[in-house]
Structure 1
Amino acid sequence: MDSLRSNYLSNPSSGNPYEDEDDIPGDFPVIVAQGERRLQVRAYCHWSDLQGGLSMPLIGDLKLDQLPDIAPHAVLMDFSHSVDDPRIVYVGEKLARECGITRDIHHLDDIPHDSMLARVTGQYGQVVANQSPIGFEDEFVNQRSATILYRGMLLPFSDKANGPIRFGLGVVNWKEAADQALSDQIAREMGAAFENGLLGGIELPADPTPAVDPSRRAAIVSALGALHFDEVPDEMAQAMSLADWLASARELAQAARFSADRSRQALYAAIGRAYDFALAAKHSPDELAKLVHDAGIKSQPRAPLLPLVKLVFGLDYDKTRLTEYASALAHAQRTGLGRGELAAYLAEVPGGLKGVVGQERRLRHAHGAKDKGKSEPLARQLRQLNHRALHDLPTEGAEFTVLVARRLPDGTIALLGEVDEDPALLSRAAQHLIQ
C-alpha cells in the first residue's frame, strides 16, 4: 500500500485549488473545481473494467499512479483490519489541498471534520453494507466558510477473488457556490437570456409548481428538445411540472424513433430524459400514480421503473427494449447519477446501453442469488426466537438503533429484538427510510 501514497505533502501551499479554468461554465452561479462533471463516470468505468467476472475488482489490480485524472480526487480506505475504524492509505493531491491537509492521516479521526474528505469517508458504511458501488451528492460549509456542492462515488475492492469487501475507493468532484453578489449578477443574466428567447422564449412563473399550461409546455418542450445531453437549467427545472417532464421525454422518444442520423445519440437523449422524469416523479408520487392509471398501465412492484418507461416510449414499444431502458434507469439510480447525466453516461461507458444493462443484470443477479440462498434458513431460525415487548428494551443506548420484528399469521407485529452497535447495518436501513 505504501506505493499508493500521494505526494501531496511535497508542496502543500503551491498552486491555485481552482486552477482548471476551462471547467468554469459561464451560465451557472458556481465555480467548478478540479476535474469535469463526468469524473465519477470514468472512475466507475475503470472499476467495471477491472471487475471482469468477479463480484468486485481485486485491490492488486488498482494502479492509481496510472490514473492521472482520477487519483488526485481519490481516497482509498482499508477495511481489512477493522470495519469500524478503516485505515486511510491514500489521499489524492487535489482532494488533500481542498481539505487543507498538511500532514499524514491514517484513521478517520485524523480527518478534519469540516472537510470534503470527511464527507466522502463518511459514506463508507453504505458501500460496506451494499457490497457494490454507491453514488452520493450533497452540500456543506467547509473550513473556509464556503458552501461546497459535491458529487462522488465509493467503489468496493477485495483482496481475493469473489471475497468480501476489503477496500473502498472514494472519488469526488465539487463546486464552490459563488458569493451573493456573483449569484445576483448571473441571475440577472439568466433572466435576460429567458426574456431574449435564448431558451425558447419561456417566461418562468414565480410559482415553482404552476398549473399545466399547454402553450407554456410547448415552449418548454421546444427548448428542451435542443438540450439533449445537457442538464436542464435549474431555473427551468423548477418551473416544470411532472407532466412537463413527461412531455419533453416523449418528444425525445418520438425523435429517437424516426432519427436516421445519430440514432444512438437520439436514443440516449430520450433515455436520459426518461431518467430525469423518473427523478421528478419521486417528488410527485400521486401525480405519477394518476398518469400511470390514466394511461392504463399496471404498476409492477418488482419492476417499478417499467411503467415510467412505458409512459415515455409508449405501450406499443418493443417490450424487450422497454425492459432494457428500465434497467438503465435502475442502474443510474444505483450509481447515484443526477439530472441530465444519464445520456452522457451511456455515451461514455464501455458497451453503451448494452454494457450498462449487462452490468445492472449482473449486480441484480448477484444480490438475488445471495439473498435467496440465505433467506429461508434465516427465516427458520428467526421463527424460533421468543417474542419481546417493546417496553422490555433498555431505555439507555444509542440514539438510533435497528429493531427486528416478525409479522405473525394473524397480522400481529411481534418484536424479536434489537441490533445495536452496527453502524453499517444502521446506515443501510436508514437509506431505505430516507429514500
Structure 2
Amino acid sequence: MDGSFAASMTADAEPHDTPMAIGNDERRMHVRAYNYWASLLNGRDFPSIEDLDGRDVSDFADHSLLLDFTAGADNPATSFIGAAIRAECEIGDEVRTLSDVPPRSLLSRLTDHWLQIVANRAPIGFEAEFTNQRGHEICYRGILMPFSSDGESIDFIYGVINWKDAPSQQRPSPVLTLVEEDAILDLTDPLDGEEELVEVPVPAADAGLADRLSAARETVEVLKAADGRSRAALYRALSLAYDFAVASQRVPDDYADLLDDAGIKAQARAPMTPIVKLVFGADYDKARLTEFAAALAHAERCAIDFEGFLPFIESFPGGLKGLVAAERTARRPEPRADNRADQARIRLRATSAKSLSALAGNDEFTLVLVRRDATGKVEPVCAVPDLSLLEKAFRKLG
C-alpha cells in the first residue's frame, strides 16, 4: 500500500522550493489532516492504511511523512517524506528508515513523538521551537496519526508538520497534546480552561418532542457562538439531545415526522446519528457528529435515565472523549479464532525433511522454513513462496 500512496503523492503534489509560512490557513494544516484522518475511521479505532490516498491529502503532501512498521517496530521505514520537509532538512533518498533521520533536523522533531502514538493509540498534536541544522530558530507545529493494516495493531503512522523561522523574541513553550478520539481545534483541547457562564434553555417536564428539539437547538447556537469552545454548552446540548432521544421512543410517530421534515433518514444500526443531526444540524462537522452519536449510544447502553446524561458525562473518566472511546470498545467485535497457524504446524511436523538444494529453486534468494525435531536436529521442511515475506526479511536484515 505504501508504494501506491507514495506514487500518488509524487504524481499529484508539486514540490515547494521553500517552506510555506504558517499563516491563518496553513496554521491549521494539522487540523485539516486530523479531520481527514477522522473521516476515515468509520467506527473503527484506527483508519485502514488502504484508505490513505495521496490524492486526498495533496494540499499538505509536501509537509507529510509516512512511517511503515510492517517490517518491525524497532526501526520503521520512512515510506514517504514530502518535498518541503526534504528541502528544509536538506536530505535525499539516503533517508530510508527512522535511524537515518538526521538528529538536528525538523524531521527528527516530527518523528520523536512516534512512541507516544504507539503507547496511547491515539493521534498526537504538538508545537515547539528549536534550532535547526543551519542554526536557524524554527517554530513548528504538527500532528501524528495512527493507521492499521489489520484494524487492531498500529503498523503505519502518518504525520504532517508546518514551520516558519521564529522571531528572536518569540519563545513558545513546547506543547504536546493527546487527541484521544476528540477533534483538534488547535493544539490544546478547546474545551479546557475556565468556563464562562452560559444561559441555556430548560424545557418543561411535560414538554413535547418539538419543544425539546427546539431547546436543544438553542443550546447548540450558544455553543456555535462560543466557537465550539464551551464545555458547559456542549455537555448541555448533548444532555438535551439524549433526553430528546429518550422522549422520541415514547412518541415514534412524532419523531418520524420531525425526521421527515428535516429530510433525515432513520438508521436502525445507528439510531443516535439522526438524533445528533436533528439537534446539531446535518451540515455539522461529520467527525464531531459521529463522536456525539457514540457518546449518546454509550449512555443508552449504560441505561442512563431521562435527565441523567449530564451527571453521567461529567463524572465519566475522560468526559466526552472517554465516552466515545468506551462505546467504540464496546462495539468492537470479539476476534474470531483463527486456527490456520495450528493446522500448518501439524502439517509441517508430519512433512518429510527436504534438502536445501531442492528447496532453493532457480531464484537468487529463497526464504526457507526449518524445523527442530525432538533430538534437537535442525532440518529444512519447505520454502516460503510469499515474496512479500522475503522482502520483509530483506528490510529486517538491512
Give the alignment's TM-score, normalised by structure 2. Answer: 0.48
Larger-Rg structure:
2
